[in-house]
Amino acid sequence: MALTYHVPAGAIDVAALLEPFVDQVACEEADLLGEPADMRGAMRDGVFFRLYMPLVSTRSIELGFEAGRFSATAQVGASDDDHVLARQLAARAATVAKSSIAVGVATYSHRDLARFETAFGAARIREQTRFETATLVAAVRNEQQVMKLDGPVRTFHFGPRMLSEILTRDAADRDLWLTARIHATQWPEVDHVAPDILEYDEPRFTAVQWRPGVRHLLESCDYYMLAAGELDDAALAAAVMVPAAELSDLAGDTLTWLDERNAILEPVPVARWDAFLARARRFHRDPFTTP
């Protein structure tokens, strides 16, 4: 479903490609946009990396070079701004390589980029995003599963909760609702902390720490670990472990879902933390002993 632009090229110089964009983009593989020395030379065959615009992008633009072709891909759920960036990167690659841009069966020369930009202007991009959104909705509706869309900051989860919301929107505007929702998940407007996801191996599970006095963005995990201080062995042993499925019942109206699995949780005042822990203990499940 994604929209990919291909540029045949013997080589693409990374520094020359990214020069017009360095001030507006960041890279998920951060070292590529580090010191100038890291940006010299041609993209190696088989290398892929992802660029995004901080506070703007909903999905990263995937750039790659393989079998003599550079590619720039705007993924499903990419915003209009992301689509413009992908188009500009493809045009820049064609200019640097003195080559052409191939999209499906159509080809656009680097000498006639105005025709390319017209062909993939706002109307064509809107057609693409509407098609992608309709396909995503149909997949979730028919298969009853949660679809995961990797974002610049965190994964966006689209499942039954999101499906019920998007189906209340006019079909023609569902793509706009989707990109707005992904954007809110990547870049929430409220102040918050987003605790690291902790991974355990024996048994295998993930957990996020939930502390008093701060608004949290709780990301998808298996357990929420209620503990006020640093997670040393003693704190871990005393922590209240709440399974993800119980979060709504415990948090009540202090919880706002961003998507299927990520949520904003309003602060529990420090003065009420002990009472809150006492209520939370009825949801406690020890992942180290629970079969």
pLDDT computed for residue 236 by the predictor: 74
Whether residue 201 is found in the same domain as residue 272: yes
Chain segment 71-89, per-residue pLDDT in tens: 999 999 999 999 999 999 9
- What's the whole-number mean pLDDT along residues 142-168? 95
Higher pLDDT, 287 or 83: 83
pLDDT tens-digit readout, 37-60:
344 577 878 888 899 999 999 999
The answer to whether 228 and 239 have CB atoms below 8 angstroms apart is no
Verify that 254 and 152 share a domain, yes or no: no
Distance CA(272)–CA(102), nearest Å, equals: 61
Say what the pLDDT of residue 30 is.
59
pTM confidence score? 0.90
* 115 shares a domain with 13: yes
pLDDT of 6 above 50 = yes
Task: Provide the residue type at 228 as one letter.
Answer: A
- Tell me the DSSP string of 144-188: ---EEE--SSS-EEESHHHHHHHTTS-GGGHHHHHHHHHHHHHS-
Q: Which of 71, 90, 123 lies at the terminal end of a domain, its last residue?
A: 123
**Do 7 and 101 lie in a common domain?**
yes
- The total number of residues shown for the chain amounts to 291
Q: Average the pLDDT over 149-155 and give the result.
A: 96
Q: 173 and 103 in one domain?
A: no
pLDDT tens by residue, 170-209 = 999 999 999 999 999 999 999 999 999 999 888 899 999 9
Other Cβ atoms within 10 Å of 245 Cβ, number: 10
pLDDT category at 289 given cuts 50, 70, 90 is confident
In this structure, the answer to whether residues 9 and 108 fall within a common structural domain is yes
AA letter at 53: M
Rounded CA-CA distance 281/171 in Å is 44
Range of the domain at 171: 129-186
Picking from 75, 98, 123, the residue at the C-terminal end of a domain is: 123
Element of type H or E holding 48: strand 47-52
Question: What is the distance between the alpha carbons of residues 67 and 45, in angstroms, rounded to a whole number?
Answer: 7
Model pLDDT for residues 89-126, shown as the tens digit of each residue:
999 999 999 999 999 999 999 999 999 999 999 999 99
